[in-house]
Amino acid sequence: MTGSAWRDPLEQMDAAVLDRSLREALDRALGLARRKRDDAMEELPDPAAARRRAAEIRRYAVDNLGALLRRLEDALEAGGVRVHWARDAAEAVSAVCRVAEAAGVRTAALSKSMVAEELGLEKALTGAGIEVVQTDLGERILQLSQDRPSHITAPCLHLRAEDVGRIFERTLGTPFSDDPERLSRAAAADLRPRFLSADLGITGVNVAVADSGTLVIVENEGNVRMVTTLPRILVSVTGIEKVVPDRAAALDLLQLLGRSATGQRWPGYITWMPPAWPREGPRPERHVVLVDNGRSRVHASGRYRSLLWCIRCGACMNACPVYGRVGGHAYGTVIPGPVGAALSPLLAPGPGTARLPQASSLCGECANICPVMIPLHSHLVHLRGDPAALGGHGGPGPRERLSFRLWRWFMGGRRRYGLSLWLHRMAERLAPRLVGRVAARLGWGGLRLRPRPAEVPFRARWRVLSNRPPGNGGPP
């Protein structure tokens, strides 16, 4: 985000944390998702071994990205699929628009795709005069309400059933209802004729299998299969990091993807699309767009390469205490949560993303729950002090650097540490208002009480306890 539309993500989070209805929606949804995930993972014979295997698969794939992508391209083209390489969002959008224009496309059915969201593909196609319909239920709801996704796997997580009922009443003309089954039927009735009339189908890709050229898409509604079979032209858009070496690796990832995302043993629908279409039925014209858009830069960085292991399950969001209070919109990026706070500033460096690494408590729960064991908390720490990786933006300012230098000096020795405690106590006694203003300036005074030093320091108490003989409450 640039220009007048840009807002500091931390300021957006300050506003979001005061939204009580948002917090209630997040508490309900994320608590359920976390419990279902934990139960599903416990069903595995050895969950830790499964995660280690998944991490090894992703490490191998990303470390050997160039070779695997060449194998994938060869397999796709051998099956009659045309491959388009896109260095950035503009090239990716241009490739899809050229395909649509050459075929005289008027309507497009777009299945859920984070990469399409990243590229702004819907807006670009609409600007080219093509009617685009989102086919995932959550994405369709957001399209009708002109809203943005707030979660990777549950895009309208922030909405209640009554909110959806009002959206449908206003946009589809259906009678108001907050019954999920009635709402689903209303959405199905609206989408069915649109599937039948679409000229172009657009999908994302969850996993791309290099040795066979098979593209794997997971979902829970079955709408993707309507997108891949009914239109006469099919375009699959994917980030270059989604490639894996073989089918066995794909299956290892999929068993963790379903469990981590929605608490399912396996996703409701898994569509395997080999390059050579089955002989029965019509064969669509197929294209695949391989999108870089900053991924090569992350790959070349070395230190942050493991961020490309992400399989977009959303588990880190479900576990993150910051996301759980502010939701996805406050991040201002397509991918929110811990992985978005680390990856988005690298994919799109700028003032709008540079402060995102600060949006973390560094509790480490995101790394604990990640199915492919990405050390997200370590990346967030490194990025806070690495403005070069953020395109020259971000990093600590002069005041913050001075503050940490003073803190390091005081913490560097026992006498200096004792001096810092004495100074704190004296300041609280002699100038409490000044201490309060400083605490507020540092961000401590807005939503919490500042800590006050004890009248009798712990070290003084310990000296007294240390002199007690064993058996009288002192140390042995």
For residue range 102-132, what is the model confidence (pLDDT) as tens digits?
999 999 999 999 999 999 999 999 999 999 9
Q: Give, to the nearest 10 degrees, the angle between helix 414-430 and helix 398-410.
A: 120
pLDDT at 142 over 80: yes
Residues 6+ apart with CB under 8 A from 332: 1, 7, 9, 12, 352, 353
pLDDT at 78 over 90: yes
pLDDT at 370 over 80: yes
CA distance 146 to 273: 31
CA distance 7 to 5: 7
Q: Which domains does the chain have, with CATH numbers?
A: 44-293 (3.40.50.10420), 418-466 (no CATH)
Return the pLDDT at 193.
93
Average pLDDT on 415-434 reads: 87
CA distance 371 to 311: 8
Q: Give, to the nearest 10 degrees, the angle between helix 161-171 and helix 137-145.
A: 60
Return the pLDDT at 476.
44
pLDDT at 73 over 80: yes
The pTM of this model reads 0.85
Residue 451: CA count within 13 A, CB half-sphere? 4
Return the pLDDT at 448.
65
Q: Which of 8-22, 141-155, 236-250, 331-345 has the lowest mean pLDDT?
A: 8-22
Average pLDDT, the chain: 89
Return the pLDDT at 104.
95
pLDDT at 447 over 80: no
pLDDT in tens, 274-300: 998 766 667 889 999 999 999 999 999
Confidence of residue 222 (pLDDT cuts 50, 70, 90): confident
Confidence of residue 470 (pLDDT cuts 50, 70, 90): low
